Structures are given as C-alpha cells and as structure tokens.
C-alpha cells in the first residue's frame, strides 16, 4: 500500500513538472488586436511604436502584443464594424475613434470595468485628468483608461512663403487671416493644405475654429448631441469654410490627409492645420528638405482659438469581456503603460502634448522642439479656449459619409452652406 502511494506521489510530481514545463514552453500570453496608427513613420506612429516595444520588453515573460496596424482612422472604423458584426471583438479596442460604435459597446455591456485596477494604482490615478475619469465612468463603471494628456492643435505657417506674398507676421484675427489667404493667392501660392477624405480632418479643424468665433458657437460645441445644425452661427461658419476652401490645392477634393500633408512638406502650400505631432515630420529629412522646420511658425487659429485631440471623447484603451483573466490583465497592463510617466514624458517631448499632472524637469523642457514650445507658450500667454475635437462626437454617418460627400460640393459651390447644414442635420 505504501509502495503504491509512493508511486502515485511520484507520478503526480512528474505530471505537475510536465505541466509547468509545458506552460513555460508556451511562452508569454499573446494579445492580438488591430490599431489605427503606429505602423508608419509619422511622429505619433513612432511614439506609439516605441511605447509598444518598451511594453513588450518590460513584460517579455508575461505578454506579447501582436498588433495589426491599419492606415488611419477610417480604415480602423471599417475594420471594427466588420469584426463587431461577427459578434467577437478583439481584447483591446479604442472608444475614441467612433462614438457610435463606442456607445453600442457600452450599451451592450461588452467592456471590462477598469475601476478595481484604477483604484489600486495611485500612480495611474495621479496622472489621469479628472474630467476624463468622470467622462469614462458610466453607470459606476470605468469603461476605458482616462486621458492623461491633451494636445493643442493650431496652424503651422511657412514664413518664407508668406514673405514672398508680402506677409511679415502670422495673422491673429479672422480678417487678417483672409487677407493673408488673398495675398498668397495673388502671389500664385496655394495658401492652405486641406483634404476632404478621411473624415476631412484638416478642413473640419478649420470649421471648428470658425465656429468658435462666436460665444454661441463655443456653447454649441459644448453640446455632445446637437439636435440641429440649422443655426445662424453654424451657417456663418460654413460660409467662411466655403471661402477658405477656395484657397487650397486643386487635389484637396477627394484627397486623403497624406496628400494635404505632402503638399505642405514639399512647400507647395503655406499653411497647415494640424497638431504638434507633425513637427517630427518637419525635421525628418526623408519627408522634408533640410532646414524646412526652421522656416515655420506655430500659431493659434484666428481669434485665438485652439482645438484639442482629446476632451469629450471616451478613452483610447478599453478591455473587452469574454477573454481569459491573463489576457484581460495584459490589456490593462498595456493601458497603464500607455498612461505611465515614462510614456507620457516621451509624448510631451516628442509630440508637444501637455500632461497637466506630469512634472517636467528643465532637462525635459530643453528637449521639446521649439515649434511645440512656441504653441505651448501661446496657449499659456493667450489663454485661448481649447475646444475638444467636436467632430469626433458626431455619429459615424456624419464623419464618414456626410462630410466626405458634402464638403466637395460646398467647395465647388454646388450646394449652399444652408444646404450643407441641412445635410448634417438630416444625418443626426
């Protein structure tokens, strides 16, 4: 009997050892998901890739991220719609890129409540923006990682091209802005880089800044779900947008963002609406001529207005229910990593973002590009309204269909601003 018991114990030990060896051989838990940026060579792509690489290195024995990089927001949204239709989302999704999809996932209770993880991490709490914590807490559940940074978006001016048109200073008022556009046109220089595909990002940034020229417009953009665009101040902003569209390149109609960006980088245009993450491209010899960045000036939009790429949007990193605890823990670990001091510091330095709760050393500040510092100084000195990216709150039909269909017609004069406002209203 004792001999049999000994043999049984030996067998159990051998079985346990084999199981442990098998687990070790299986390696770290793989977390696979698509993502909308990170696979390219832009400043934001490089920052994201560095963060992913540092995560994979730090957690080499536990987790491995396997990411399918997609070329832009529109491609990501279409991919997610297709995946969602199958009934099985990937373990990590972003709620920030399509509010309609995000709302469906929240309503169907598909997302892991991050509250226990967040409450147990003082460092995560300390760096998070309070308003974003509140925004991402729905029915008592933290549905996504709160934002810890914001990035003021303004305009970049090629001062050399402005000089050729007889303009010596960056315009600050709307009248000065249109006067600058007229002078550039008279000098044979397409004034502003715009595009209409990919949700019309650059053109709609300009529209938002034009909408902010009145208190009513700013208040309107504070409304998450507007009931109508048929309002006088919206019509006035669309009239000004139609006017601005007359000063862009011929290829803006039907062009993706990459065309608008290349037109500015190759010095075909004088003005570029975009965020400071693009500064890395200005200094990149593979994308622009040597010294190109030194020709530029950062500026606010006319009337001292800035736009932010965060604000009223839900968070970037959310964990999906239905996966093993190991996978969920890995997703949360990555979300915390992307909100860690080291990754935030890299973003501030490389992309010109501001992290309100992150302390920077003098050495950190010295590493920030002068163009980003210039924009940050403008924001601090002028204290402009920094408007949340209002178009990101619109439903996917407006973002991916109405804007793409209506903007070309507005630019060509085939529809009036009033008719475009009605198109936007009909799509609500």
Which helix (H) or strand (E) segment is 157 a member of? strand 152-158
The residue behind tokens 């938002």 is 208
pLDDT class of 189 with cuts at 50, 70, 90: very high
Residue 427 to residue 383: CA distance in whole angstroms? 34
- Is residue 233 within 8 Å of 399, Cβ to Cβ? no
Q: What are the residues facing 318 on neighbouring strands?
A: 93
Q: How many CB atoms lie within 10 A of CB 47?
A: 21
The residue behind tokens 């500015």 is 264
- Is residue 234 within 8 Å of 221, Cβ to Cβ? no
Which helix (H) or strand (E) segment is 65 a member of? strand 63-69
Tokens of 282: 């200005």
- Express each pLDDT in 136-161 by its tens digit: 999 999 999 999 988 888 999 999 99
Percent with pLDDT over 70 in the chain: 91
- Express each pLDDT in 253-296 by its tens digit: 888 889 999 999 999 999 999 989 899 899 999 999 999 999 99
Tokens of 270: 């004088």
Residue 363 Cα distances to 23, 148, 355, 359, 372, angstroms:
44, 21, 16, 12, 15
Q: Which pTM value belongs to this model?
A: 0.76
CA atoms within 13 A on the CB side of 261: 19
Q: What is the mean pLDDT of residues 76-105?
A: 92
pLDDT at 339 over 90: yes
pLDDT at 17 over 70: no
For 354-382, letters b (16+ CB in 10 Å) and e give bbeebebeeeeeeebbebbebbbebbeee
Q: What is the predicted pLDDT for the residue at 310?
A: 56
pLDDT class of 396 with cuts at 50, 70, 90: low
Task: Enumerate domains of the chain plus CATH numbers.
Answer: 26-147+312-366 (3.40.190.10), 152-311+369-426 (3.40.190.10)
- Is residue 246 within 8 Å of 413, Cβ to Cβ? no
Residue 332 Cα distances to 114, 117, 145, 189, angstroms:
8, 8, 9, 49
Q: How many CB atoms lie within 10 A of CB 4?
A: 8
Q: How many CB atoms lie within 10 A of CB 254?
A: 12
pLDDT class of 181 with cuts at 50, 70, 90: very high
Residue 240 to residue 220: CA distance in whole angstroms? 17
In degrees, to the nearest 5, what angle opens at C-alpha 289 toward C-alphas 287 and 290?
Answer: 115
Residue 30 to residue 15: CA distance in whole angstroms? 25
- Is residue 148 within 8 Å of 129, Cβ to Cβ? yes
pLDDT at 319 over 60: yes
- Is residue 192 within 8 Å of 248, Cβ to Cβ? yes
pLDDT at 330 over 90: yes
- Is residue 143 within 8 Å of 108, Cβ to Cβ? no
- Is residue 255 within 8 Å of 196, Cβ to Cβ? yes
């Amino acid at each position: 009997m004792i001999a049999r018991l000994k043999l049984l114990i030996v067998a159990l030990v051998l079985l346990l050892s084999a199981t442990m060896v098998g687990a070790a051989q299986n390696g770290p838990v793989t977390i696979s998901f698509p993502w909308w940026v990170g696979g390219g060579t832009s400043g934001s792509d490089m920052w994201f890739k560095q963060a992913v690489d540092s995560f994979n290195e730090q957690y080499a024995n536990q987790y491995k991220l396997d990411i399918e990089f997609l070329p832009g927001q529109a491609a990501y949204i279409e991919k997610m719609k297709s995946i969602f239709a199958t009934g099985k989302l990937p373990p990590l999704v972003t709620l920030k890129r399509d509010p309609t999809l995000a709302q469906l996932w929240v309503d169907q209770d598909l997302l892991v409540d991050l509250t226990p993880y967040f409450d147990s991490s003082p460092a995560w709490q300390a760096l998070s923006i309070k308003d974003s914590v509140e925004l991402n807490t729905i029915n008592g559940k933290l549905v996504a990682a709160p934002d810890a940074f914001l990035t003021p978006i303004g305009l970049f001016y090629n001062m050399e091209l402005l000089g050729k048109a007889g303009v010596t200073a960056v315009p600050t008022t709307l009248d000065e802005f249109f006067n600058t556009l007229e002078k550039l046109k008279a000098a044979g220089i397409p004034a502003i880089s715009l595009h209409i595909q990919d949700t019309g990002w650059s053109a709609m940034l300009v529209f938002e800044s034009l909408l902010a020229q009145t208190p009513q417009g700013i208040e309107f953009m504070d409304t998450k779900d507007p009931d109508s665009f048929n309002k006088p101040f919206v019509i006035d902003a669309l009239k000004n947008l139609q006017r601005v569209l007359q000063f862009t390149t011929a290829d803006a109609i039907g062009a993706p963002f990459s065309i608008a960006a290349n037109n500015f980088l190759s010095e075909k245009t004088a003005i570029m609406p975009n965020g400071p993450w693009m500064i890395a491209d200005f200094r990149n010899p593979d994308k622009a001529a040597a010294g190109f960045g030194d020709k530029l000036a950062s500026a606010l939009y006319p009337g001292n207005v800035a736009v932010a790429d965060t604000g009223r949007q839900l968070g970037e990193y959310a964990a999906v229910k239905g996966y093993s605890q190991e996978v969920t823990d890995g997703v949360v670990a990555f979300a915390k990593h992307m909100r860690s001091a080291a990754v935030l510091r890299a973003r501030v330095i490389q992309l010109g973002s501001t992290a309100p709760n992150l302390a920077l050393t003098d050495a950190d500040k010295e590493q920030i590009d002068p163009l980003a510092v210039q924009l940050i100084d403008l924001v601090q000195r002028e204290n402009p309204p920094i408007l949340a990216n209002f178009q990101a709150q619109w439903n996917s039909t407006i973002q991916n269909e109405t804007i793409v269909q209506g903007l070309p017609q507005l630019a060509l004069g085939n529809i009036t601003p009033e008719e475009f406002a009605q198109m936007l209203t009909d799509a609500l």
